[in-house]
Amino acid sequence: MNKIKIGVMSFAHMHAFNYSKCLKKIHNAEFTGIYDDNAKRGKEMAGLLGVKFFSTEKKFFAEKLNGVIICSENSKHLSMTASAAGAKAHILCEKPISVNLKDANKMISLANKAGIKFMTAFPCRFIPSVVKARRLLDSGEIGRILAIKATNHGSLPDGWFTDKKLSGGGAVLDHTVHVADLLRWFTRREVRTVYAEIDRSIYNKKIDDCGTLLFEFENGVFASLDPSWSRPKSFPVWGDLTMDITGEKGNIYIDAFSEIIDVYDDKTGKHSCRSWGSDAYMGLVKNFVDMILYNRTPFISGYDGLKALEVALGAYESAAKKKVIELPLKAKK
Are residues 200 and 322 located together in one domain of the fold?
A: yes
The bridge status of strand 118-121 relative to strand 145-151 is unpaired
Is there a domain that residue 171 lies in?
A: yes
Are residues 142 and 86 located together in one domain of the fold?
A: no
Is there a domain that residue 274 lies in?
A: no
Q: What is the arithmetic mean of pLDDT over 280-296?
A: 97
- Of these ranges, 155-159, 170-174, 261-265, the one predicted with the greatest mean pLDDT is 170-174
Amino acid found at 175: H
Task: Tell me how far CA of residue 168 lies from CA of 61, 184, 309, 327, in angstroms.
Answer: 27, 22, 11, 19
Is the separation of the CB atoms in 283 and 151 below 8 Å?
A: no
Biggest distance spanned by C-alpha atoms of the chain: 58
- Residues 6 or more apart in contact with residue 50 via CB below 8 angstroms: none
Q: At what angle do helices 15-25 and 280-293 cross, to 10 degrees?
A: 60
- Residues 6 or more apart in contact with residue 48 via CB below 8 angstroms: none
- For every residue of 104-161, DSSP letters joined together read HHHHHHHHHHHT--EEEE-GGGGSHHHHHHHHHHHHTTT-SEEEEEEE--BB---GGG
Is the separation of the CB atoms in 214 and 196 below 8 Å?
A: yes
HEC-encoded secondary structure of 259-274: CEEEEEECCCCEEEEE
Are residues 181 and 202 located together in one domain of the fold?
A: yes
Are residues 160 and 57 located together in one domain of the fold?
A: no
- In this structure, the number of other CB atoms found within 10 A of the CB of residue 215 comes to 26
Is there a domain that residue 109 lies in?
A: yes
User: What confidence category does residue 1 fall into, taking pLDDT thresholds of 50, 70 and 90?
Assistant: low
For 195-230, the pLDDT digits (tens) are 999 999 999 899 999 999 999 999 999 999 999 999
Are residues 230 and 168 located together in one domain of the fold?
A: yes
189 half-sphere exposure, CB direction, 13 A CA radius: 15
Are residues 107 and 167 located together in one domain of the fold?
A: no
- Residues 6 or more apart in contact with residue 207 via CB below 8 angstroms: 162, 163, 164, 167, 169, 170, 200
The bridge status of strand 90-94 relative to strand 191-199 is unpaired
Are residues 95 and 191 located together in one domain of the fold?
A: no
What CATH number is attached to the domain comprising 195? 3.30.360.10
What CATH number is attached to the domain comprising 51? 3.40.50.720
Is there a domain that residue 184 lies in?
A: yes
For 14-32, the pLDDT digits (tens) are 999 999 999 999 999 999 9
Q: Cα–chain-centroid distance for residue 163?
A: 18
Is there a domain that residue 34 lies in?
A: yes
- Structurally, the chain folds into a number of domains equal to 2
Are residues 261 and 316 located together in one domain of the fold?
A: yes
pTM: 0.94
Average pLDDT value for the chain: 94
Is there a domain that residue 68 lies in?
A: yes
- In this structure, the number of other CB atoms found within 10 A of the CB of residue 20 comes to 23
- For every residue of 159-212, DSSP letters joined together read GGGG-HHHHSSSHHHHHHHHHHHHHHHHHSS-EEEEEEEEE--SS--SS--EEE
Domain of residue 208 covers 124-269+309-326
Are residues 117 and 226 located together in one domain of the fold?
A: no
Is there a domain that residue 275 lies in?
A: no
Are residues 209 and 219 located together in one domain of the fold?
A: yes
Are residues 172 and 313 located together in one domain of the fold?
A: yes
Is the separation of the CB atoms in 94 and 15 below 8 Å?
A: yes
Query: Comparing 47-61, 90-104, 130-144, 260-274, which segment has the lowest mean pLDDT?
Result: 260-274
Distance CA 218, CA 216 (A): 7
